[in-house]
Structure 1
Amino acid sequence: MRSLALSLALVLCAATLAQAEVKTKVIQYEVGDKTFDGYLAYDDSIEGKRPGVLVFHEWWGLNDYAKKRTEMLAKLGYVAFAADMYGDGKSVDHPKDAGEMAGKVRANVDEWQKRATVALDILKKQPQCDADKLAAIGYCFGGSTALQLAYTGADLDAVATFHAALPTPSEEQAEAIQAKVLVCHGADDAFVPQTAIDAFQKKLKEADVDLTFVAFPDAVHSFTVKDSGKHGNPGMQYNKAADEKSWAMLLDLLKNNFGGGQQD
């Protein structure tokens, strides 16, 4: 009898675990005449609506790294949507190709912001999403994208960037920012000049934006990406301490804006 009871308990436990899992799906949408393939993740064991987090990928495109971060957020109780900023879910591995694709998007700021705005609208429309509780985060090119979205006056509670370029907003754009902004920067990141950092901070300070700027010691570009050193560029390297601390700061930002209930 004990054996039977144990077996039944294990079956029930397994069934519960099977039901409580992160669900993912590709959502296809359009911006103008171009098709995009975003990536949605949420925990289907959670009832009701929950805060939404929009995730913007690095210059490589919507790759496994961006999807992994999206799933990590879903496991913590958020509904997360990784936007596709290039179209057709495209991603590349060579820095030259990535630079060309990111450059094309950056060259047309209106289109850049429009793609980000449409992706936010897609997240808002998800039945799991509480459209009154929204955040945007991004890595590298994606961090710049999250800032560009904030510059439009988007209804965001929080924005977080990781090893991002910091486009300087106009006075009007800075004043349009509604979100609390967290910038996680590598103190030794040679890709982002100090002049850009100073100009960015000055504009946000003048607009009274709630900005937290953290420069992690000994961290260079792409410090959150474990295989960032595979390209042989010493300016792109993983830093475990900076990765873990910046992620913890993000979670604190989200909890402080949206309240408790998420797992650590």
Structure 2
Amino acid sequence: MRTVIFTLVLILMPSAFALAKVQTQAISYQHGEVQLEGILAWDDSITGKRPGILVVHEWWGLNDYARDRARQLAQLGYVAFAADMYGKDKITVHPDQAGAWMKQVQANVSQWQARAIKGLAVLRSQEQVDPKNIAAIGYCFGGATVIQLAYSGEEIKGAVSFHGALPLPIGKQATKVKTKILIAHGNADPFQKEDHIRKFRNALDKANVDWQMVFYAGARHSFTDPGADARGMDALKYDQAADVRSWKHMQLFFDEIFLTP
């Protein structure tokens, strides 16, 4: 009888495991007159509330790369929301168009921050999310966006910028920061000059911000994006070692902010 029961368990187990997988859902929301649509990702085998992670896309828009990062976070046990910073279906592969959309958002810093906060509100409202345990990560333009989110004074546990622009705080913005910051930066990134990085660090230090910055030797801009080499821009290059290392550094950072009392 025990052999029969054990056999039945083995037969049934694959079906049970098949039900436990990452789910995704498109969520529409609005900022002013702009219609936005983000992607929520979560593992339905996990019960109860868990930390939520906001994901902010590169300057190309909310493409498959940002969506995949949300799914990867869900596989780690988080609920991730890949926010939309441009507008529904505004995705491009052309640098000129990407730059124009990015500059349009960045032109008004308070509105830039407000749009990121809208995405954060969507994440916090999800039933699977512990609203007191929230972090944000971003890539390229998204990295600058999560820094702006920190400057806004939002109550989040952490902000992670991957090969992001490092916007200098305006006025006393840095004194509003209530979160820890991790910056994953390519040491060969031509977009961020050493003098600018020094000014950025000094501004955070002056405001007593809890920050850390990891440099990856030889890594250029967009070092986490496997599609970077196909963009036709010499400044962009995928770096597998830097990609893997930075993802691990993010996980260590999350362990610190979510698991440390």
Category of TM-score, reference length = shorter chain: over 0.9
Q: How does 1:200-215 map to 2 (within 5 A)?
A: 200-215=200-215
User: Contact between 2:85 and 2:116, CA under 8 Å: does it hold in 1?
Assistant: yes
Matched AA of 1:113 = Q
Residue 195 of structure 1 deviates from its aligned partner by 2.4
Residue 7 of structure 1 deviates from its aligned partner by 6.2
Between the aligned partners of 2:10 and 2:28, the Cα distance in structure 1 is 39
Between the aligned partners of 2:48 and 2:81, the Cα distance in structure 1 is 17
Residue 121 of structure 1 deviates from its aligned partner by 0.7
Matched AA of 2:248 = A
User: Contact between 1:167 and 1:196, CA under 8 Å: does it hold in 2?
Assistant: no
Between the aligned partners of 2:127 and 2:83, the Cα distance in structure 1 is 17
Structure 1 match to 2:255: 255
User: Contact between 1:28 and 1:38, CA under 8 Å: does it hold in 2?
Assistant: yes
Q: Does 1:225 align with 2:190?
A: no
Between the aligned partners of 1:35 and 1:109, the Cα distance in structure 2 is 19
Between the aligned partners of 1:213 and 1:172, the Cα distance in structure 2 is 22
User: Contact between 2:93 and 2:231, CA under 8 Å: does it hold in 1?
Assistant: no
Structure 1 match to 2:14: 14
Cα distance per residue 1:101-132 (max 9 Å; x no partner) = 11111111121111001110111000000000
Between the aligned partners of 1:89 and 1:177, the Cα distance in structure 2 is 32
Deviates more, 1:58-67 or 1:103-112: 103-112
Between the aligned partners of 1:96 and 1:117, the Cα distance in structure 2 is 26
Structure 1 match to 2:45: 45
Structure 1 match to 2:188: 188
Deviates more, 1:40-49 or 1:89-98: 89-98
Q: Does 1:31 align with 2:31?
A: yes
Structure 2 match to 1:73: 73
Matched residue SS, 1:48 = coil
Matched residue SS, 1:209 = coil
Matched AA of 1:218 = G
User: Contact between 2:113 and 2:148, CA under 8 Å: does it hold in 1?
Assistant: yes
Matched AA of 1:175 = T
Matched AA of 2:166 = L
Structure 2 match to 1:111: 111
Residue 158 of structure 1 deviates from its aligned partner by 0.6
Between the aligned partners of 1:111 and 1:195, the Cα distance in structure 2 is 28
Between the aligned partners of 1:112 and 1:78, the Cα distance in structure 2 is 25
Deviates more, 1:87-96 or 1:20-29: 87-96
Structure 2 match to 1:173: 173
Structure 2 match to 1:242: 242
Residue 94 of structure 1 deviates from its aligned partner by 1.1
Matched residue SS, 2:192 = coil
**Alignment: residue pair count:** 260
Residue 255 of structure 1 deviates from its aligned partner by 1.0
User: Contact between 1:142 and 1:164, CA under 8 Å: does it hold in 2?
Assistant: yes
Structure 2 match to 1:64: 64
Matched AA of 2:57 = H
Deviates more, 1:167-176 or 1:62-71: 167-176
User: Contact between 1:39 and 1:83, CA under 8 Å: does it hold in 2?
Assistant: yes
Between the aligned partners of 1:171 and 1:203, the Cα distance in structure 2 is 10
Residue 140 of structure 1 deviates from its aligned partner by 0.1
Superposition CA RMSD, Å: 1.6
Describe the shift of the 1:11–1:35 C-alpha distance in structure 2 as closer, same or farther (beyond 3 A): farther
Matched residue SS, 1:39 = strand
Q: How does 1:75-94 map to 2 (within 5 A)?
A: 75-94=75-94
Between the aligned partners of 2:66 and 2:170, the Cα distance in structure 1 is 29
Matched AA of 1:68 = D
Between the aligned partners of 1:226 and 1:236, the Cα distance in structure 2 is 10
Residue 5 of structure 1 deviates from its aligned partner by 6.0
User: Contact between 1:171 and 1:203, CA under 8 Å: does it hold in 2?
Assistant: no
Between the aligned partners of 1:75 and 1:154, the Cα distance in structure 2 is 26
Between the aligned partners of 2:135 and 2:171, the Cα distance in structure 1 is 22
Between the aligned partners of 1:95 and 1:251, the Cα distance in structure 2 is 31
